[in-house]
Amino acid sequence: MAEDVDALVAMTRILSPHCRVTRMSGGALIADWKRTRFLGMATADLRKFADGSSEERADLVTGLVRAGCATARQKGYSDAEVGLWLRAVHLLIRTMGFGRVLRLLSVAAPDYVRADTPSERDVARLKRAVESHGRRSWFVNDDCKAEAVTAFVLLRRRGLKAVLHVGVREHPFALHAWTSSADRCIPDADPRGHAFTPVLSIDGGGR
């Protein structure tokens, strides 16, 4: 049983965020919710993900890539990509308004996208990149809304857990937005020591 669990975990790591794997009596079933199709895998092939040779795993991954269930290489976002996303999100918010952008988040993170637990190191790296670009860019100018939405979208597009919060402070009145993931907040949930009470939280599905 432990070997089967390890095999499922190993396979899940390489699957695209819109695919989920379920243990079956004769192996596993991969559900591709983006294309609404299913792919079966035998027990012997499933266990190669956990303890097979690198060549065996490479052959299986190649097959999944061709089937559209996995990407050729899982990677994080580069610093330049984070900057481009941040400026694009900020422009979208200025053009459409924050409320309308929030309603579009279901497109970036639909219910069929997985929500795996990210590592603190990955979230910390993203936090540094987002906040660094937010401070350096005269265009973004440290906009918490753009930073929070950018972090949420980038995490969820990789199939990672994230929750976007919009909070309010009464005295003096102010609004603030942040995304929480792996016990970190992007940007900080309490800037300059001011606490905000969440009035809206969006998790993007993936349950």
In a domain, 60, yes or no: yes
The pLDDT score that the predictor gives to residue 4 is 61
Question: Per-residue confidence of the chain (207 residues) as pLDDT tens digits?
Answer: 455 667 777 788 788 888 888 888 888 899 998 888 898 888 888 878 777 788 888 888 888 888 888 876 556 788 889 999 999 999 999 999 999 999 989 887 788 888 888 999 999 999 999 999 888 878 878 899 999 999 999 999 888 999 999 999 988 889 999 999 999 999 999 888 888 999 999 987 544
Task: Determine, yes or no, domain membership for 207.
Answer: no
The answer on 196 and 157 residing in a single domain is yes
Q: Are residues 99 and 18 in the same domain?
A: no
Same domain, 108 and 48: no
- The last residue of one of the domains, among 26, 45, 67, is 67
Long-range contacts: 88-93, Cβ < 8 Å, 24+?
A: 89/146, 89/149, 89/150, 89/153, 90/139, 90/140, 90/143, 90/146, 93/143, 93/145, 93/146, 93/149
Q: What is the pLDDT of residue 149?
A: 96
Domain boundary pick from 15, 33, 67: 67
Domain boundary among the residues 34, 67, 100 is at: 67
> What residues make up the domain containing 32?
2-67
Give the list of residues 6+ apart from residue 8 with CB closer than 8 angstroms, or none. 21, 23, 28, 46
